[in-house]
Amino acid sequence: MDGLGIRFGGNHAVRDVSAALPAGQITAIIGPNGAGKSTFFNLISGFYVPTSGRIRFQGEDITRLKTHQVVGRGIARTFQTTTIYKELSVLDGVMIGHRVRTRAGLLDALLRTGRERRDEEGSRDGAMAALARVGLADQAARPAGALTQEGQKRVGIAMALASNPKLLLLDEPAAGMNPEETVRLMALIRDLVSGGLTVALVEHKMSLVMGLADHILVLHHGQKIAQGTPAQVSRDPAVIEAYLGG
């Protein structure tokens, strides 16, 4: 990201952020509420078009690509709240979630064109592989609503993995999780990274951030105020001020 920014009216939600997400590593994006963390993810994943700056991914300028094009380039994300199709099987939910993101839209996904049907076999295999990666292969046939909250969050990650991304963006993956669930999530993220994935995550749970991240990027009022290793960032005066001073 180079000089990345977006304004909503007079509000600079993200302002002049230059940063990199190193391949094969885990970068955490932290900052007080309203700092611009989710907006940052929305910019990278093509949900918002920046009002300034550029985004490059593997040598290509992706600044103005649409969300499904960004997914096609190898960037997938989860959301702060995952929409789970509770009545559908876990497998169908992952397949539909995958289609919605890789095609131009929901209607396209639901209408299932001829090509869609030909792709179905492949996307079923891809969805099964994604479920295996999050430890849910044996749950594929169950209704998604029958899973625990932790299981449903893993379904959300599987939806993102179904597009076989190189970069995975996780927005508050541990929200609402107890300590044991959080530890299991950390193990899962480490597994994914050791399999070659690059991860960026927004998270409030400092135990997770400090125990997992290779790098931390700190946003405050939309601006990058610090970056570095967990040890460096946790004793940065600007960071301490941002959290204590609000």
Report the residue number, 34 or 74, with the smaller CB distance to ligand ADP: 34
Residue 55, token pair as written in the block:
């985004």
State how far the Cα of 48 lies from the Cα of 128, in Å rounded to an integer. Answer: 30
Contact 200, 170 (CB under 8 A): yes
Sign of the alpha-carbon dihedral angle for 48, 63, 40, 105:
positive
Contact 197, 25 (CB under 8 A): no
Binding segment for Mg ion (CB under 5 A), chosen from 36-44, 150-158, 161-169, 180-188, is: 36-44
Distances (CA, A) of 155 to 29, 99, 193: 23, 15, 18
Residue 50: which of ligand ADP, Mg ion, none does it interact with, CB under 5 to 8 A by kind? none
Residue 8: which of Mg ion, ligand ADP, none does it interact with, CB under 5 to 8 A by kind? ligand ADP
If one counts every other C-beta atom within 10 angstroms of the C-beta of residue 125, the result is 11
Report the residue number, 38 or 152, with the smaller CB distance to Mg ion: 38
Reduced to 3 states, what is the DSSP secondary structure of residue 84?
Answer: coil
Residue 34: which of Mg ion, ligand ADP, none does it interact with, CB under 5 to 8 A by kind? ligand ADP
| Using rule CB under 6 A, residue 10 touches ligand ADP | no
Name the β-bridge partners of 54: 2
Report the residue number, 35 or 109, with the smaller CB distance to ligand ADP: 35
| Using rule CB under 6 A, residue 39 touches ligand ADP | yes
- How many residues make contact with ligand ADP (CB under 6 A)? 11
Report the residue number, 75 or 96, with the smaller CB distance to Mg ion: 75
Residue 13: which of ligand ADP, Mg ion, none does it interact with, CB under 5 to 8 A by kind? ligand ADP
| Using rule CB under 6 A, residue 51 touches ligand ADP | no
- Which are the contacts of 67, defined by CB distance < 8 A and separation ≥ 6? 45, 46, 47, 101
Question: Residue 133's closest CA among 168, 83, 86, 96?
Answer: 168
| Using rule CB under 5 A, residue 38 touches Mg ion | yes
Report the residue number, 41 or 91, with the smaller CB distance to ligand ADP: 41
| Using rule CB under 6 A, residue 13 touches ligand ADP | yes
The H helix count followed by the E strand count for the chain is 10, 11
Residue 33: which of Mg ion, ligand ADP, none does it interact with, CB under 5 to 8 A by kind? ligand ADP
| Using rule CB under 6 A, residue 36 touches ligand ADP | yes
Residue 60, token pair as written in the block:
């290509």
Report the residue number, 34 or 228, with the smaller CB distance to ligand ADP: 34
Taking the complex as a whole, how short is the minimal distance between the CB of residue 131 and ligand ADP, in angstroms?
Answer: 28
Contact 233, 218 (CB under 8 A): yes
Instruction: Provide the binding-site residues for ligand ADP, judged by CB under 6 A.
Output: 8, 11, 13, 31, 33-39
- Tell me which residues touch Mg ion (CB under 5 A): 37-38
